[in-house]
Amino acid sequence: MKIAYLDTIAGIAGDMTMAAFVSAGLPIDELTEELHKLSLEGFELQVRHVKKHSIAAVHIDVEVSHEPHYHRHLGDILSIIEKSGFSGVVKEKAASIFRVIAEAEAKIHGTTMEKIHFHEVGALDSIVDIVGVAVCLEKLGIEAVYSSPVRLGSAALVNTRHGRMPVPTPATLEILRDYPTVLTSIPHELTTPTGAAIVKALSSGVLEGETMLPRAVGYGAGTIDIEDAPNLLRVVIGDLERPGGRDEIVVVETNIDDMNPQIYPYVLEKLLASGALDAYLVPVIMKKGRPGILLSVMVDRTNLDTIVRLVTLHTSTIGVRIQSASRRKLPRRVVDVQTRLGPVRAKLVVRDGREMLAAEFEECRRIAEERGIPILEVMRALDSEFASH
């Protein structure tokens, strides 16, 4: 599984995250071209190569040419995202980040998500930062995000549209509730609400003991210089090797008998794009003999709230069941294999001491579309070739 590991050396912010992905190999021209799909004008990405404590990094400024007044609610921002030309996956990831911020701000200010006025994170540059991160994940083929415990500054005050706020700001702390953090003595706002929301909305949790094969490393630089640490966010892109054995997950289930069946594929797509480990449908007979559907979703506990919200938002259910479950898994990892049809990313599974290769369906579809041949022919050819390895 291809992942991005966010190493919060000196915290995390939206511009630092976007810059780290550019440093890790995403061409800035490609990112800029994608961001033009936003139905907004008046911004430009300014990219500089800098050094922090002698470490080369990328710094990105979102230069805004005109936006003297902005007064946006969550609905305004979600409308901007929905009207854009991005894929459904990019839209959902960006929207989920804004919802995390709105939920925290609503709790802090004693109001509702719909009534919250977005100030700093509602500005054009913050919208570009958040959407840009979602674009980076799609363009780099990232399947999951993990992080280190999030580093926070302390013993400082920061200016906001709500006045002077302590560091960490109330929004940052509320967003990171129940997520591993490290409170440092560095007197700066290391992690912003936007950075915290990126972690909370997208991360599957903190890596502990897993084996990762690093493929690319990037450094995104913050603006200020910090004496106690390089002001950097490091992103490591690589393959996460899930060892065989047991792990703990959460199963979210609900029975539905009153929803248009055309909606189910859309719901599954949303769930999987938002970090569900698996999601599937089972036909059932419900009370009074009515046919229905059992929707089951497997998820890491750190992503539970996001998945529950999506289920209740996009289906007709009025409640879900949540159960802890154990999994036992065979050792597996993702590998690149040279074949007669070109390079193919495949899953290598160890079963009874034997290594077995299997091409992912999306890889088969890619080859079929690129070469103009039936997908069944591609699958047979790869199965035959893998059997001889």
SS3 161: coil
What average pLDDT does this structure show over 300-327? 90
Peptide bond into 168 cis (omega under 30): yes
Q: Domains of the chain, with CATH numbers?
A: 2-241 (no CATH), 245-329 (3.30.70.1380), 332-387 (no CATH)
- Please state the pTM of the whole predicted model: 0.67
Is there a contact between 2 and 334 (Cβ–Cβ < 8 Å)? Answer: yes
DSSP H/E element including 307: helix 304-314
- What are the residues whose beta carbons fall under 8 Å from the beta carbon of 26, sequence distance 6 or more? 136, 139, 140
- Determine the Cα–Cα distance for residues 154 and 148; give it in Å rounded to an integer: 18
Give the residue among 205, 210, 220, 213 at the shortest CA–CA distance from 237: 213
Q: How many CB atoms sit inside 10 A of residue 111's CB?
A: 12
Contact between residue 386 and residue 359 where contact means Cβ atoms under 8 Å apart: yes
Torsion of Cα atoms, 187 then 191 then 194 then 200, to 10°: -150
Residue 119 contacts residue 148 (beta carbons within 8 Å): no
> What per-residue confidence (pLDDT) applies to 121?
56
Q: What is the mean pLDDT of residues 259-279?
A: 93
Binning pLDDT at 50, 70 and 90, where does residue 389 land? low
pLDDT one-digit tens code per residue, 74-97: 888 899 999 999 988 899 899 999
- Per residue in 105-135, pLDDT (tens digit) is 888 878 778 777 665 555 788 899 999 999 9
Q: Is the pLDDT of residue 243 over 70?
A: no
Q: What is the pLDDT of residue 147?
A: 94
CB contact at 8 A, 239 and 249: no
For the chain, helix (H) and strand (E) counts, in that order, are 11, 18
